[in-house]
């Protein structure tokens, strides 16, 4: 007896610049992977939404409420990169989407794909998943210009509390709450448990900023102790002889040391949980070690909504030229498939990307790095992946 095919509605935003090209390539590869893995029992029904320049042209708004509403309703979206509008009052569309949908965990897995040129000797040792807090710290965007009435008012308060700050200062405030820090740590630990990963490391600058970054670390440990007592052990407990078998090791590193560690001892780290700014720097530095942003996927997760997107931007100089690397968005698509419970389709897609790169089929961003290989265009790269999926 034939079973009914299951349709899953997936909203997508093609995005600006190279967005539409890499989105087409990615959707085709994702569909092929689902067909292969589920023998047509599941299919995605893609629903196009507008945001960014396309939305500005079509409906005169950068981020229409209908777009946000559709993502809320379906709980998921695949998003191409969006141009940051200049002078529109929106600081960044990407940040606006994350905040409007309360997508509090920015998840960026970084691993090596064989054959890809890398600036380090042993790129395969890098296999980390960065959970970056997505709503607070510098993302709150609380800052005032030097000389503004707001900056002067804040400086007055700060001085009245005993701090000595120069009068010609601009002022920024980075709030970090127990609530947001703990929910981020919770999602990182849950992820490590679900995936059977060995450790979660809180990365912070708590030696200098004790009540924000230091508190982030302390709240992380507290959460591990109160909510995951049976499943986790701290590094200190492990070093003092406590049995750690089958448990996730919880540890912390000061951010500057962590930047050394990703180069000198990458194999000792698995899941990293970070405040917003540390995670921004760290995820690009990690991505650089395995070949750059072209291979860096990302997910923005909330409690009921998830938006998957490439880490890179619109690369406007390559728009319409069929040269952009679609791997980052494709790998974000693989994360989305896992999120939808389509794990085998995700594996089929990742394996095909792996095979294609290992065979030396690459876009110009990789071939130009001394490989001696001839580049393929965006479309041909996608076709090669689909051919491998079979």
Which residues belong to the active site?
Answer: 139, 205, 256, 280
DSSP 4: P
Residue 82 near ligand NAP by CB under 6 A = yes
Q: Which is nearer to ligand NAP, 298 or 355 (CB)?
A: 298
β-sheet bridge partners, residue 45: 9
Binder among 325, 352, 381, 384 for ligand NAP (CB under 6 A): 325
Structure-token match 């120069």, residue found: 166
Would you tell me how many other CB atoms lie within 10 Å of the CB of residue 26? 29
Q: Which is nearer to ligand NAP, 262 or 331 (CB)?
A: 331
- Radius of gyration of the chain measured on its C-alpha atoms: 22
Q: How near is the Cβ of 312 to ligand NAP at its closest, in Å?
A: 3
Identify whether the C-beta of residue 293 lies closer than 8 Å to the C-beta of residue 287: yes
Residue 67 near ligand NAP by CB under 6 A = no
DSSP states of 118-155 as a string?
-SSS-GGG-EEEEEEE-SSGGGG-EEE-TT-HHHHHHH
DSSP 297: E
Report how far residue 228's alpha carbon sits from residue 370's, in angstroms, rounded to the nearest whole number: 47
Letters for 286-305 (x = contact with ligand NAP by CB under 6 A, - = none) are: -------xx-----------
Residue 83 near ligand NAP by CB under 6 A = yes
Residues with Cβ < 8 Å from 152, sequence gap 6 or more?
none
Q: How far is CA 213 from the centre of its chain?
A: 20
The span of 185-193, 207-215, 236-244, 316-324 binding ligand NAP (CB under 6 A) equals 316-324
The dihedrals phi and psi of 157, each to the nearest 5 degrees, come to -60, -45
The span of 62-70, 77-85, 126-134, 197-205 binding ligand NAP (CB under 6 A) equals 77-85
Binder among 105, 324, 336, 389 for ligand NAP (CB under 6 A): 324
Residue 20 near ligand NAP by CB under 6 A = no
Tokens of 292: 């750059």
Letters for 353-372 (x = contact with ligand NAP by CB under 6 A, - = none) are: ------------x-------
The span of 59-67, 81-89, 257-265, 280-288 binding ligand NAP (CB under 6 A) equals 81-89
Site size toward ligand NAP (CB under 6 A) is 19
Site of interaction with ligand NAP (CB under 6 A)? 18, 22, 81-84, 94, 293-294, 309, 312-317, 324-325, 365
């Amino acid at each position: 007896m034939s079973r009914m095919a299951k349709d899953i509605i997936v909203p997508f935003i093609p995005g600006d610049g190279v967005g539409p090209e890499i989105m087409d390539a990615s959707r085709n590869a994702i569909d092929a992977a689902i067909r292969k893995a589920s023998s047509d029992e599941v299919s995605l029904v893609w629903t196009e939404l507008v945001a960014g320049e396309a939305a500005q042209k079509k409906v005169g708004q950068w981020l229409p409420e209908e777009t946000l509403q559709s993502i809320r309703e379906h709980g998921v979206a695949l998003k191409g990169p969006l141009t940051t509008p200049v002078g529109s009052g929106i600081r960044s569309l990407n940040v606006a989407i994350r905040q409007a949908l309360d997508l509090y965990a920015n998840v960026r897995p970084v691993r090596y794909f064989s054959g890809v040129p890398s600036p380090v000797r042993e790129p395969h040792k890098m296999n980390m998943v960065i959970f970056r807090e997505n709503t607070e710290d510098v993302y709150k965007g609380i800052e005032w210009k030097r000389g503004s009435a707001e900056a002067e008012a804040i400086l007055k308060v700060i001085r009245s509390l005993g701090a000595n700050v120069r009068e010609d200062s601009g002022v920024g405030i980075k709030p970090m709450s127990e609530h947001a820090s703990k929910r981020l740590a919770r999602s990182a630990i849950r992820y490590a448990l679900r995936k059977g990963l060995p450790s979660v490391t809180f990365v912070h600058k708590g030696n200098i900023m004790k009540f924000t970054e230091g508190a982030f670390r302390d709240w992380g440990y507290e959460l591990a102790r109160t909510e995951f007592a049976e499943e986790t052990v701290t590094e200190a407990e492990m070093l003092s002889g406590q049995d750690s078998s089958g448990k996730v090791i919880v540890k912390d590193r000061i951010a500057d040391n962590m930047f050394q560690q990703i180069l000198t001892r990458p194999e000792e780290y698995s899941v990293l949980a970070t405040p917003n700014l540390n995670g921004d720097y760290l995820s690009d530095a990690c991505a650089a070690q395995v070949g750059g942003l072209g291979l860096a996927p990302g997910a923005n997760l909330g409690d009921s909504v998830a938006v998957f997107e490439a880490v890179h931007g619109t690369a406007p100089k390559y728009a319409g030229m069929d040269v952009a690397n679609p791997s980052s968005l494709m790998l974000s698509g693989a994360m989305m498939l896992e999120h939808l419970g389509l794990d085998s389709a995700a594996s089929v897609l990742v394996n095909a990307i792996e095979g294609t790169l290992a065979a030396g089929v690459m876009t110009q961003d990789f071939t130009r790095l001394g490989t001696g290989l001839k580049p393929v265009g965006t479309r041909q790269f996608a076709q090669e992946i689909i051919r491998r999926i079979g």
